[in-house]
Homo-oligomer: A and B are copies of this chain.
Amino acid sequence: MDYKSYQENLLRYLLYIPKKDLKNTISRIHPEDVLDALRLYEGDKKKILLKIPEEVMVDIIDQAEDEEKYELLSLMPEKNQKKIIEEMSSDELTDLLGSISNEEANRIIYNMDINDAEEIRELLSYESDTAGGIMATEFIAIREEMTVADTLKYLQKEAPNAETAYYLYVLNDEEKLRGIVPLRDLVIRNFDVVIKDIMNENVIKIPWDMDQEEVGNIFEKYGFLSMPVVDNSEKMLGIITADDIFEIMKEEYTEDMYLLAGLDEDEKIERTIGESVKNRLPWLFVNLLTAILASITVSLFESTISRVVALATFMPIVAGMGGNAGTQTLTLIVRGIAMGELEVENTKKILLKEISIGLLNGLAIGFAIGIISFIWEKNIVFGIVIATSMILNMLIAAISGFSIPILLKKLNIDPALASSVFVTTMTDVLGFFFFLGLASIFIEFL
């Protein structure tokens, strides 16, 4: 049975099973699958939601996309809403509150337990794409003087509420992080061993203000399942878990790819036509402006073209090939910045490398197109003009493909944003300028 038919069967099941029977069976269905079935249903979702026990609704809303969370929550009766909010993990609740108006968010926070409310207000104060904005505050904190037996007893009480119980965090009186004990190390020890003797003091910590993309790189580098977030004084604030990182990696990557292609970061396959047009058209108009810039360049040489019409035929090759080579360099640099592979020390080396590659590729492609156009037009000067402008444009491609994303990064703008528009503007305008300019100079021989 494929996933689609499974979903349809599940939806039918959820719709027609009596409430008391669902209560006994729903724990066997993954909340994400319930969510998918709900997404499929075009009728009144309340019919299903009111049958689902609150504690399961908590898991379902935890798993939902940011904008879906509030939608699902608001379908529940007022009194259940309060209970669900109480039970939700802090990072998911923060996402929910961040997706609705300040007014609605304040109303929800106002109805919360005063301590939870304070915690949530603090979480909401972090930028949403930094470590502070993605962490959860439900971690298991222990003391170094506790024994293994103490810890296990403590776990019986605390583990069910924690975001992850697979790492226990050893804090001192000032809540500073002193060490970590993996649960797996704990269960293989004697009961009377003291935490201090088994804790790992070499803890890699995430600063609260680290950008989420960098957080993703650190997880990928070290392969951790969760990592602690600390403030400037090493006080532990929360934890980030692997499942958050999967989402971040997907989000950051999709964003880079979309920005490079001139798509808005929240463009989606399921968008309506109107939304998509609204998202894409501004980019196309920016491109139109740059295309007009290229056309103005061409128009400067209309008298040259009218004398040698073959220039119009070969013109798109010089510009287009520059654009292709520029996109290669650009993509490599944008991805290198995103993966943290490009650092201050190696930029100069990489620029020189890209220029060399541009030169070599320019020589190869220039030679090829020089020969082809010589055969086509039976004019050696024509071949030399196009080959020379191809080499020059490939150099421009390398330099702009390298420096535009780096410049944007320095200005604290996402290097993927608009990079390709700038690079192709450079290669179009200068490609036409070199080719038609050289042709004008040597017009006597063409």
Measured CB to CB, the residues of A under 8 A from B are: 4, 27-30, 32, 63, 152, 155-156, 159-160, 165-166, 183-184, 186-188, 201-202, 204, 216, 219-225, 242-243, 245-247, 249-250, 253-254, 256-258, 260-263, 267-270, 273, 276-277, 280-281, 283-285, 287-288, 291-292, 294-295, 298-299, 302-303, 305-306, 309-317, 319-321, 324-325, 327-328, 330-333, 335-336, 339, 341-343, 345-346, 350, 353, 356-357, 360-361, 364-365, 368-369, 372, 424, 428, 432
The one of B30, B294, B365 in contact with A285, judged by C-beta atoms closer than 8 angstroms, is B365
Q: Chain B contacts of A361 at CB under 8 A? A: 277, 280-281, 284
Known: A263-B332, A280-B361, A315-B312. A225 touches B223 (CB 8 A): no
A222 to B31, CA, bound (A): 9
Contact yes or no, B249 A250, CB < 8 A: yes
Contact yes or no, B295 A335, CB < 8 A: no
Known: A4-B345, A309-B302. A320 touches B291 (CB 8 A): yes
Contact yes or no, A357 B188, CB < 8 A: no
Q: Chain B contacts of A258 at CB under 8 A? A: 331-332, 335
What is the oligomeric copy number?
2
The one of B27, B156, B245, B288 in contact with A246, judged by C-beta atoms closer than 8 angstroms, is B245
Smallest CB separation, A285 vs chain B (Å): 7
Contact yes or no, B188 A291, CB < 8 A: no
Smallest CB separation, A214 vs chain B (Å): 11
Smallest CB separation, A338 vs chain B (Å): 9
Known: A223-B243, A309-B302, A365-B284. A262 touches B324 (CB 8 A): yes
A280 to B360, CA, bound (A): 11
Contact yes or no, B343 A4, CB < 8 A: yes
Contact yes or no, B276 A295, CB < 8 A: no
A216 to B246, CA, bound (A): 9
The 12 sampled A-B contact pairs (Cβ below 8 Å) are A30-B204, A63-B223, A225-B225, A262-B327, A263-B331, A269-B333, A276-B357, A287-B324, A288-B369, A298-B316, A306-B306, A315-B315
